[in-house]
Structure formats: structure tokens, C-alpha cells
Amino acid sequence: MSTKYGAERISRDDLPPGKVLCEYCTAKCCQYFAMPIETPDCLEDLEFIRWYLLHDRASVFKEDDDWYLLVHTRCKHLQSNNMCGIYETRPQICRDYTTDNCEYEEDWTYDFYLETPEQVHEYTEAVIQPKNKSIRSRKPKLLAVL
């Protein structure tokens, strides 16, 4: 399978000597950032998450028991060939990042993923019972006696 930039997609184990895995990648790591957030345990926390998702290109996911705010945004120095345009002066976080455990082969699936404020509302209703409100449906009206 070829990438959209022409390089043949290879397995990590088949990387030719002297080549860099990034030359075969779509630069997933340069097209988003994820920040850990507190695990929501009250309505106010879930309202913050709903607020995050009112913003374009934001989502929230859970990995194991940790929650993250994911911002889908392309690095402004990522070149059309998916290589770094400021490689020699890149930030320290980029210098510390290695391809040893990067997302090269990942499919980007999450067991728990929220991408709309409506999903947060539904999740909130499922996990937090509003005060003075029963989880049961309202009692239906009695049928008329004929």
C-alpha cells in the first residue's frame, strides 16, 4: 500500500537501514495533541467536557482509566511531504518523541470516545442522576373507564 505521498507503506520491522520511519508515515503525531484531563466525577466536570466539544476539532477519549482532551490540529511546520519544516529547531517535546512506540501502525480506535456535546449530554444522563429525579419513567395516566 502506498501513502498519499508516494512512499510505499512498510512494516516497522522492514525499515531499510539508514531510513527513518517518518518517511513512510502520514505524520499522525503532528496532526493532533492530547492533554490529560481530570476524570469527571460530577456534573460540573461533564459540563466542562461538553464546553470543550462545542469547539471545532476537539474530542475527548478515555484510555484505560485516564481521560484526555484531543485537539485535532495540524502543526504549522508540517510540510506537504509529512516531514518537519523546523526539524533542527523543533521543540523539546518533539525531540523527546521517538518512533519506538509511535502510532505508525495504529488504527486510531478508542473504546470510549466523545466528539459532540450531545454525546456528553447523553453520557451525563446515563451516569449522573439529577437531584430529586427518579431514574424511572413517569407514571402513565390511567386509562379512562368506559
Residues 18-30: pLDDT tens digits? Answer: 888 888 888 989 9
Half-sphere CA count of 130, side-chain side, radius 13 A? 5
> Which range, of 10-19, 22-31, 77-86, 133-142, averages the lowest pLDDT?
133-142
> Distance between CA 96 and CA 101 in Å, rounded?
12
pLDDT at site 79: 95
Residue 30, burial from CB neighbour count under 10 angstroms (0-12, 13-18, 19+) = buried
Which among 66, 63, 5 is positioned nearest to 39, based on CA atoms?
Answer: 66
pLDDT in tens, 32-56: 999 999 999 999 999 999 999 999 9
The average pLDDT across 65-92 equals 96
